[in-house]
Amino acid sequence: MTDEPYSIEVTIAVPVGDVWSALRDPELIRRWHGWHFDGLDKEIEVIYHQNVVESAAEHRLETQGGDLFELTDLDGRTRLRVTRAPRGGDPDWDAYYDDITEGWITFVHQLAFALERHPGADRRTVFLSGAAATPVLEATGLVTVAGLPPASPYELEGPTGETLRGQVRFRSANQVGLTVDGWGDGLLVVAQNPPSPANPGGTAMMVLTTYGLDDAAFAGLESRWNAWWARNFPEATANDQDATAVADPPRGD
């Protein structure tokens, strides 16, 4: 028995050709997909280029796992829809199904943010992930902000002592995305993923995306957030986490 396919949809305020290029050019994909770690280039190759089926004319891309990207031209804007492959085809994929779905939600919003707010710009990221013993929104003090509708302004003292201000960028059932003015108009994604067969206790995750910070400023931000995360989520792994388990979990032969 299979479930009905689950779809993720976002409208991006750039032409469809620009979105298609951002899905096909590895150098452009590096500017929005996931976060930086030693295996990022390999992950991009595996997800977006190995055993995929694509139609440039129709702006359709099917990954080797069966997830389908479809772009629709909306007169200068683009609707991006990702339709998940149904459960039931592969037990290894099924165990990670919910985790992969959450990964795609993060990724499509990263794509939209990068194209709309920072076209052509490189970024630097901090990735934090671990067991969800402590609700991450409570730990960060973002519970109230997470309840605001998209485009709402916010300002608060962040958990590392810096002032965070910007707008609510997006909300989903398990994630919230916030722009952060002080990170060069950056993006903070906070996720509390529910228990799944692959992660029975659930997981907490944060991706901090920055633009234009000098080396000292970025190093300070990275150090503060890693130290805070280690105190609050002691089982966490920071920064060098491989995202492949989210978007491309291991499968049997």
What are 226-250's pLDDT values in tens digits?
A: 999 999 887 655 444 444 444 444 4
Per-residue pLDDT at 160: 97
**Taking CA 156 as the corner, what is the angle to CA 147 and CA 235, rounded to the nearest 5 degrees?**
75
Is 108's pLDDT higher than 50? Answer: yes
Per-residue pLDDT at 93: 74
Query: Tell me: the pLDDT tens digits for 192-227?
Result: 987 777 777 788 999 999 999 999 999 999 999 999
Query: Tell me: the pLDDT tens digits for 13-49?
Result: 999 999 999 999 999 999 999 999 999 999 999 999 9
Domain boundaries, the chain: 7-121, 124-244
Cα gap 232→183, rounded to integer Å:
22
The one-letter amino acid at 176? V
Is 125's pLDDT higher than 90? Answer: yes
Region 185-189 average pLDDT = 98
Cα gap 170→153, rounded to integer Å:
12
Two domains, one topology: 7-121 and 124-244: yes
Nearest to 183 by CA among 148, 131, 221: 221
Reported CATH class of domain 7-121: alpha beta
Q: What predicted TM-score, i.e. pTM, was given to this entire model?
A: 0.91
**Domain 124-244 architecture:** 2-Layer Sandwich (3.30)
DSSP string, the chain: --PPPPEEEEEESS-HHHHHHHHH-HHHHTTTSS---TTHHHHHHHHHTTT-EEETTTTEEE-TTS-EEEEEE-SS-EEEEEEPPPTTS-HHHHHTHHHHHHHHHHHHHHHHHHHHH-TT---EEEEEEEE-SS-HHHHHT-HHHHTSPTT-EEEEE-TTS-EEEEEEEEE-SSEEEEEEGGGTSEEEEEEEEPP-SS-TT-EEEEEEEE-S--HHHHHHHHHHHHHHHHHH-TT-EES---THHHHS-----
Query: Tell me: the pLDDT tens digits for 134-180?
Result: 789 999 999 999 999 999 999 999 999 999 999 999 999 999 999 99
